[in-house]
Each structure stands twice: as structure tokens, then as C-alpha cells.
Structure 1
Amino acid sequence: MRNLSKVVSLLFITIFTLGIAKNPVQEIGNLQVIGTQLSDQHGKAVRLIGTSFGWSNFHPRFYNAKAVKWLKKDWNVNVVRASMGIEPENAYLQNPNTNKKLIEKVIDGAIKEGIYVIIDWHAHVIHTKEAKDFFAEMAIKYGKHPNIIYEIYNEPVKDSWEQVKSYSEEIIAEIRKNDDDNLILVGCPEWDQRIDWVQQNPIKNAKNIMYTVHFYAGTHGQWLRDRTDAALKAGIPVFISESAGMEASGDGKIDDAEWQRYIDWMNEKKLSWITWSISDKKESCSMLLPSAESTGNWKISDLNESGIKTRDYLRKYDYRGHFDQNFIWKGRFEKSSENSGKLIGPASSVEFQFQGNSVEFNVKNVPYQGYYNYISVEIDGKYVGRFKVDNNDFKKFTFDASDLSRKVHSIRIYKATEAAMGEVFFDGKGVSTIAFQNEPKKKIEFIGDSITCGFGNDETDKKCGEGQWFDQHNAYLAYGPVLSRKLDSEFLLSSVSGFGMYRNWNTEKWEENILPDVYNNLYLRPSGTAKFENIFQPDLVSICLGTNDLSSGDGKKERLPFNKHKFIGNYIEFVQNIYRKYPNTKIVLLNSPMVAGEQNKLLIECLLEVKKFFSNNTKHSPIEIFEFQEMKPEGCGYHPSSKDDQKMADELFPFFSKLLN
């Protein structure tokens, strides 16, 4: 957590920089691509966040300098996109002068306002001669301005990448005759979805270019993010030059959850993005209603649902594309909006900042199998306690700020119980918050069983043996979160009590799902749940499984002997799954503090076999193994107490610190 002086300094810097950023281009300067990151004139990361005008031939009335000025002032954009229609009726091929004059009004307006402008050749078919002539003219007329970005082919539909690449090389060469350094955006086949084809054969010997990807959240899901992630990893710089929340047709219902996933992903990857479009056609993606004036000054009543949501999104970025969040969600969660959603996994959390000496918020229990839940609360970095969430109606919680000398406070609400209990729904609507930036930190995912969940480590409300089996749960005090706070790193828990690598505490594989079966499900349940996506991308994955595989169960039910080969085989497959999900992560395998003697020797032998299997894998860092000191746990149900969890975290600290560095 940041102390008060840091918060005040950040607030001052934010206010100051916003104040002087009346001309973002003057502050940012000539754009340059460094690796895969768009950067400013000094080589520091920057993002362009803005919106696109609709087709110039279909929506000419919005192509004017006053509309540009309004988008900068009210929608907070640092870039606009002038989409010059090429093939349809009254577009460039039929009326070149009319369409050029339209987009030049937008270009001139953007230069005057000090924001960037994308000159978009909005075509679906290659027109090499016409494009060369057009971009040569644009480079001569505007190439001296750092505001200018050239998008040389909007959305190739049927062309192969070889055809698009050859065309792009000609257009790039033509532009560079008169403009040495302004950014050029290159499209890719199949409506800007086949970035993987670009990855296999990128353009050589061309500087300051990026490749465009387009998404419509109602149609394009995780598969496109995965494809783009692979391209980024391979060194392909990506610019999202068109996007929206509905179907790819531009119409239909907005998929709020998927659109939010894309926003979170683009923030995580520091991608620049443009939304579609400033137009008033009767369809979801046209963000204005016919009542909207041509020259801006739009009221909320002039915007449709997409326009309202887009404006809200855009207004959260500063002039450099830094995203100011009011609520930061971590762990396994599912948002309904930025300020409301479900905390699912153990120690999943939501954080926000507020002013004043107290804060109120609402949560409700979303039970699974009739259970209730607990939350743990931290204010200004200090643990406040654990609190029961025991009904299905919203329950108001009020907390006093612990340090009254602070003007700005932070509060973080954690789910203390695990996924098997159901979810905690947090509703932040109406909560008075202060926007702030999520500081980048190293990331760790802890995969495990009840030990990782924090089972039995908190008897402050009920003593061991009283109440439900989870009444002593507190994931906040588990070794993973404790260690992460000590390392000043972000964390995520993927753990289920009783589960193992090839069998569970009292069941064999054919009787019940095991951890590898449910891991890829967001809710850590076998079916009917959302997919657990790979946005988090941890630097380190810690796996602590085996306690339940080696267990004798309850001693009443017949238990098969431990099958070393099944354990090792499942472990190897699970590690392979982790590598597919997180290509750049390091993996460490932990033994169990609750397994000792000959069983511990057997567990270590198995882990060594897993490590050996990957010894020739040159794509990833070598797998590491950590062995806890033998422990006699003092928590409930022969599990670690909170003091035991602290000891485990202390043991792991130097080892994990070295791996993260």
C-alpha cells in the first residue's frame, strides 16, 4: 500500500500533468515503436485511446473540427480516426475530392487540438495505385506533423497475408519518400483477425510500423486475445484500431462482460485502442442518435448505449493513456461492471480509495450448496478483521478509517472463504471513490488444496469443531497472500480443499473431479462455469499438491494404494497446461508441510521425476523444487494455523525473492 505522501504526490502529478496537457502531441511528441510498445519521443511507454469517425461517405456531417474539439474536451480522447470510405457508393473511388476534403477537416482539427489522428484507408479490397497516390499526397501535405498516423488498409477480407504484405510494402515505401518517421498501421487478413499469419512472416526493413487487430466483443472472444498474445510474445507490435462491444455486424446486443474483459486485457498489455464509431445509423455500434448535433456538444440523451459506455471508458484515461481505476479487482472474479461483481476464488479481492473518516459498501452472499461466506478487510494496508456474509440480500458494511491523519484512504475487501462456498457479490454503485492507478508488480499464482486456501487457520469467531467446516477459513492469512505482501507482489489463488493431482482426500478419480479438471473453470467447479482466462500472466506459478493424493482418507472408506505413476503423469500434463496458459512463467513445485517421513520422501521423488521430464525444455526456465521443513500444524483439523502460515511464508521468502528477481 502507498503511504499518504506518495498518494498526495501522485494526485498532484496527475492534476499537474492533466493541466499542462492541453496539447498532448506537444508533450508526447513523435511516436516510436520500441519492441512491441508504442512510445513517446523519449522512449517512454504511451497509449493512444480514442474513437473513430464512421465511414466518411455515409456520415459526412460529423467530419468537422468542432466535433474533434468536443471529443477531446468531453470524451477525453488523445487520438481520433478519420475513416475514409473507399469502395461503397459516394466513397473515395467515386468522389475522391469530396472524401479527401471531409477527412482533412478532421486532420486539421486534430492538429489544431494537439491530438493524434489516424488517416484510415477504409477499404476491404486492395487498390494499390489509388492508395499510393493518396498516401503520397497525405505524406507531402501532413508528414511534417507528429500528429499523423497512416492506416494503410482497414480490413482485408479475402486477401492472403502475402498479398497484403506486398501491397503494404509498396505503400510504406511511398509514404517514406516524404515522411521518414510517423507511425504506419498495417492491416491483416480476415477482418484484421489473422495476426498469427503476420507473426509467421512479418514485414522486414520497415521502421515505426504496427499491425492492427480489430475486435467486436459480441463475436470475438478469448481465442482472439490468445492469438494476439502469441503475436506480442513473438515481438509483433499490435494496435487495436477498431473495437466495440456488440457483434461483428456492428449490431445486436452489447456483451458487457466480454467487452470488459477486452478493456482489462488491453490495459494489462498496454495496447492502444480505438472504438467504433461516431455516426448516427440505427445500429448498436453507431454511438450517436439522430438528435446529436453535427458539431459536438452532445448530451447524454444524444448517445445510445454504446456511446454512453464508450464515453465512460475513455474518460478514465489521462493524456498519455494511463488508466485511472476507481476499483481494482484481483484473483478469480467476474465483474458485472467496473464497480460491481463476484469475488469467486479464495483471497480474490476488490480495492478502492476514498476520502473521509469512514466508508460504506454493500455485499451479498451468492450461495453454492447452501453455504455462506466470509470477507476479510484491509484498510490503509492494515488488517481489520474477518466478517460473515450470511444472507442473499445486500448487507451494508461500515468501516472507520484507522489513520485519521490521512486525507485519502484505501480499502481492500478479500473473499476469506473458497469457491466451494459460492460467491460474494460486491456492489460499489454509489460509493464515493477516488480514481487511482494500479501499480505494476510481480505476479504469483498459488495452486493448491486446503493448505493454500487457508483452511482452519482462523478461530477468532468459532473454535475448531464449532459451526461449519469452513468457519475457520481465512485465505487472507494463508501462506500465499502473506508471502505476497512480504514480497510486495500481486497474487492469485487457484486452490480447492480436499483436491489432489490425480485423486482427492477421500475419493478416487472416477468418483469426483480433481484439481486439474476444474482449474480451467473460473469458478473451480466442473461444469457450467465461465472459462478461467489467462489475463493475469504470473511471473511465477507455485504448485503445492500431493497431500490429498497421499492421504489415507477418513480411515473408514476403502482407499487404494498411492499410484506414483498416475500422480507423476497427471502432474506432467498439468504443468504442460500451465505452460500453454502462461508461456513466460517460471514454475516451482512445493512439497507439503503436512506430509512427513517416508511419505515426504515419496512426494519429493515424484516431484523430481516431474522436473526431470522437463529438463530438456529450452523454451522455459528450469522447474524448481522447494521443500518445507517438517511441521506439526497447530490449526484446525491438522492444518496450519495463521502462525504456521506465517512460518511457511518466511521459509519461502528468500527462495521466491530470488526466483522473481
Structure 2
Amino acid sequence: MRTLLTGLSAAVLLQGALAQDVSRVAAEPAGLKPLASSVNGRVVAQPDGMLLRQWPGTYAEAAFQGDEVYFRVGAGDVSLRVSVDGEAAVPLVKPAAGLYRVANFKRGGAHLLRVAVASESQGGATGFGGFLIGATAQPAPLPRRSRQIEFIGDSHTVGYGNTSATRQCSQADVWATTDTTRGVAALVAAHYGADYQANAISGRGVVRNFDGYKADTLPEAYPFALFDKSRKADDAGWQPRVIAIALGTNDFSTPLRTGEPWATREQLRAAYEATYARFADALHRRHPAAYIVLWIAAGDGAEVRSEVERVAEQVRRSGNPRIGFVPVAGLSMSGCDWHPSVADDRQIADALIQHLDKQRDVWAAAAR
């Protein structure tokens, strides 16, 4: 959803001469006032004004005129990227709850501040408390993006360990090197000047999670704002013109275990195809104007590649011609645990962009 607000101690890792400085404020300055903002991603508002979020890729933006701006971080481990006017982002890793000041950016004119979540939060929700400005600053108009893209998937959509220099990673390494802001969703959305959601969970599948792990599959978790399923997602106002889905790697990447619901791979494939097709059909009914593209990072002959292609064809035969299939082969898979690297993410994004550019009327109802 795109939520309007009336108004994130770990180290702030500054890399070189970045254009802005982010620091925690011990005592709140007098006279701060709320700054209107937009939040993209599924959130649950709390009585104290804090927003809880858990799906990856959440980002908040505020526009202002002035030399400094503030934002609040709530509880929970999170890795943020803070940028002003599209300059190189400052990483803010596991920040303590509290108030943060952004300053030392280019002076003059209106500015756009973005605070984006880079990390995955399967272990629990994290909080964001909005933006504030002082008496010498003024609000400015927020950008109005008419295009919206939704990405649904697993670790390949999350950006699991995509910045890692090695495939061998501990769980801590995975968390630290995951960066959704440099992943497929962010790259494609930036190309089209679109807002985006990344509704993905690493390790989850359509009917079977990685190695038979017992937890909600992605379609089971999808309807909810948080992973505890305490509240349905409020997607009012969210009308994506493109829905890009990448699911199946976890369903098929490991052998079936004794006791799983499917005695054979044939039974697993049949369940996968039927469930995935129903999921895609439900998304089509909810967003009838959206073009759906099923993509998968897999080479020729891979079981999952054939299965995703079969699902796309089933959906097409059921009466929805606005569906595409994009396989992406030749990736280095040099991220953590043989996952796509940031270079691979760029290759996947380029393949999706090339495919979308060939489709007629994808953005017909969206102002250019």
C-alpha cells in the first residue's frame, strides 16, 4: 500500500564522502513538526503513530525545503538505506530506536528523502515512525508516480545475500549482505519511474518450502500485512499495472522427504501447477488491468523452468492472455548459498524490462 503519514544504536556506516550525514539525536530538538510522507509496502499503524512492517523492500519518502530533516526508528533489527535526492545511500545498520537527523546534503531548493529497508525481517516486524522538520524547514510536494509494480517471490526477489563476495555464508552473513534496494524489484521500478512492493519471503514456495520446511507457503502468507497473520493487508489504492512473480525454486530444489504430502515428483508437480495457477488467477481477478509475468532463474532443462512455463500456459488457456514467461539463464549465482549476485539481479531486471517493453498497453492507464 502507499500510506500517507501526517507526520530508523548501531553504527552509521559512512562510505567515503557521501553527500549526506545521518546521526542519532540524543535529545529531541524543540519545535519539530511532522512532515507528510508516503510509505510504500505493507504496514500496520500503531496507536503511538509507529508503523510496523515485515515484508521486504518497504520505503518511505518525504519532500522538504531546508538544511536538515529528521525521522524516527522503532524497535527491531533492520538495515536501512538513507538517501537525499537520489545520492549514494548511507547504510544505517541495526539502528537503536530513536530519532535520527539527516544533514550535510546539497543546499537549496526542494529535497526528497528516502528511507528504504534493505534487510529481510522474517524474525519479526520492525517499526518506522515518520519524518519531522524544524521551524526553518518547509514541506515540499511529494512526487506523484502513476506507475506501480508488484514483485512476489522468494529469496531471488528479496535479494538474499546478493552483495556477498562469497557463496559460503553464515546466517549473520546472509542478513548483512542482503540488500533489497539493489535487487530486481528496485532496479525494474527505477527504470520505469514506478513505485513498487516486494512481497517475498526467502525459502518459501508455492506448495513446498525449501527442503520441506514447515511454515506458511508464499500464497498462504501473501494475504497478510505481517507474518503472524494478525491482520489482512490493506491494499487500498495499490493498483499495480505489472505483477512479476518468481516462485518454484524452493518447491523443486531438494528431494522429497518421507512424510511429505507428495509421494512422487509427479504429484508435487501437479500440486504446484494447480496452486500456482489459482494464485495467478486470484491476482488477475484482484487486478484485472495488470500484466502478470512469471520469471525464473533457471537454465534449459531445469525442472522448475518447465513447471513455471506450464503454469503460464495454463493461466493463458484459462482465459487470461495478459501473462508472460521469462526464464533467465547464465547467472553466476555468486551470492550467499548460490543465490543471484547484484550483477545477476541486473541481468534479471534487464530481461524483465526487455520483455515488458515488448508488451502492448502495459502502462496504458498510467500517465507517462
TM-score range, shorter chain: 0.7 to 0.9
- Which structure: greater helix fraction? 1
**TM-score, length basis structure 1:** 0.45
Task: Name the amino acid aligned to 2:93.
Answer: K
- Asked if residue 481 in structure 1 is aligned to residue 183 in structure 2, the reply is no
Q: Give, in angstroms, the shift of residue 551 of structure 1.
A: 1.0
Q: In percent, how many aligned pairs have the same letter?
A: 22
Distance 1:467 1:607 in 2: 32
Is the alpha carbon distance of 1:451 and 1:615 closer, same or farther for their aligned partners in structure 2, counting shifts above 3 Å? closer
Task: Name the amino acid aligned to 1:544.
Answer: A
Q: Give, in angstroms, the shift of residue 519 of structure 1.
A: 0.4
**Could you tell me whether the CA contact under 8 Å between 1:519 and 1:532 is conserved in 2?**
no
- Asked if residue 411 in structure 1 is aligned to residue 113 in structure 2, the reply is yes
Is the alpha carbon distance of 1:573 and 1:476 closer, same or farther for their aligned partners in structure 2, counting shifts above 3 Å? same
**Could you tell me whether the CA contact under 8 Å between 1:365 and 1:389 is conserved in 2?**
no
- Asked if residue 344 in structure 1 is aligned to residue 54 in structure 2, the reply is yes
> Where do 1:236-247 residues align within 5 Å?
none
Is the alpha carbon distance of 1:628 and 1:263 closer, same or farther for their aligned partners in structure 2, counting shifts above 3 Å? closer
Deviations 1:471-510 (A, max 9, x none): 22211111111111022111111100000011011216xx
Paired residues, what number? 322
Distance 1:612 1:634 in 2: 31
Distance 2:121 2:130 in 1: 21
**Corresponding residue number in structure 1 for 2:80:** 375
- Asked if residue 422 in structure 1 is aligned to residue 124 in structure 2, the reply is yes
Is the alpha carbon distance of 1:471 and 1:556 closer, same or farther for their aligned partners in structure 2, counting shifts above 3 Å? farther
Q: Give, in angstroms, the shift of residue 597 of structure 1.
A: 4.7
Is the alpha carbon distance of 1:598 and 1:561 closer, same or farther for their aligned partners in structure 2, counting shifts above 3 Å? farther
Q: Give, in angstroms, the shift of residue 340 of structure 1.
A: 4.5
Is the alpha carbon distance of 1:443 and 1:355 closer, same or farther for their aligned partners in structure 2, counting shifts above 3 Å? same
Q: Give, in angstroms, the shift of residue 373 of structure 1.
A: 1.5
Q: Give, in angstroms, the shift of residue 534 of structure 1.
A: 4.7
Distance 2:240 2:91 in 1: 27
- Which structure: greater strand fraction? 2
Distance 1:453 1:500 in 2: 13
**Could you tell me whether the CA contact under 8 Å between 1:352 and 1:411 is conserved in 2?**
yes
**Corresponding residue number in structure 2 for 1:400:** 103
Q: Give, in angstroms, the shift of residue 444 of structure 1.
A: 0.8
**Could you tell me whether the CA contact under 8 Å between 2:69 and 2:131 is conserved in 1?**
no
Q: Give, in angstroms, the shift of residue 457 of structure 1.
A: 1.6
- 3-state SS of paired residue (1:654): helix
Structure 1 portions without partners, runs of 5+? 1-260, 265-324, 367-371
**Corresponding residue number in structure 1 for 2:294:** 589
Is the alpha carbon distance of 1:621 and 1:443 closer, same or farther for their aligned partners in structure 2, counting shifts above 3 Å? farther
- Asked if residue 651 in structure 1 is aligned to residue 351 in structure 2, the reply is yes
**Corresponding residue number in structure 1 for 2:10:** none
CA RMSD in angstroms comes to: 3.0
- Asked if residue 517 in structure 1 is aligned to residue 216 in structure 2, the reply is no
Q: Give, in angstroms, the shift of residue 380 of structure 1.
A: 0.3
> Where do 1:226-625 residues align within 5 Å?
326-336=36-46, 340-366=50-76, 372-391=77-96, 394-404=97-107, 406-428=108-130, 430-432=132-134, 434-459=139-164, 464-465=169-170, 467=172, 469-507=174-212, 511-523=214-226, 525=227, 527-552=229-254, 562=265, 563-592=268-297, 595-599=298-302, 602-618=303-319, 620-625=320-325
Deviations 1:57-101 (A, max 9, x none): xxxxxxxxxxxxxxxxxxxxxxxxxxxxxxxxxxxxxxxxxxxxx
Q: Give, in angstroms, the shift of residue 390 of structure 1.
A: 4.8
- 3-state SS of paired residue (2:347): helix
Task: Name the amino acid aligned to 1:365.
Answer: A
Distance 2:282 2:87 in 1: 37
Distance 1:341 1:652 in 2: 32
Is the alpha carbon distance of 1:551 and 1:466 closer, same or farther for their aligned partners in structure 2, counting shifts above 3 Å? closer
Task: Name the amino acid aligned to 1:537.
Answer: Q
Is the alpha carbon distance of 1:550 and 1:395 closer, same or farther for their aligned partners in structure 2, counting shifts above 3 Å? same
Q: Give, in angstroms, the shift of residue 374 of structure 1.
A: 1.0
Q: Give, in angstroms, the shift of residue 605 of structure 1.
A: 2.7
**Could you tell me whether the CA contact under 8 Å between 2:3 and 2:40 is conserved in 1?**
no
Higher-RCO chain (CA-CA 8 Å, sequence separation at least 6): 2
Q: Give, in angstroms, the shift of residue 447 of structure 1.
A: 0.5
- 3-state SS of paired residue (1:428): strand
**TM-score, length basis structure 2:** 0.78
**Could you tell me whether the CA contact under 8 Å between 1:499 and 1:548 is conserved in 2?**
yes
**Could you tell me whether the CA contact under 8 Å between 2:2 and 2:41 is conserved in 1?**
no
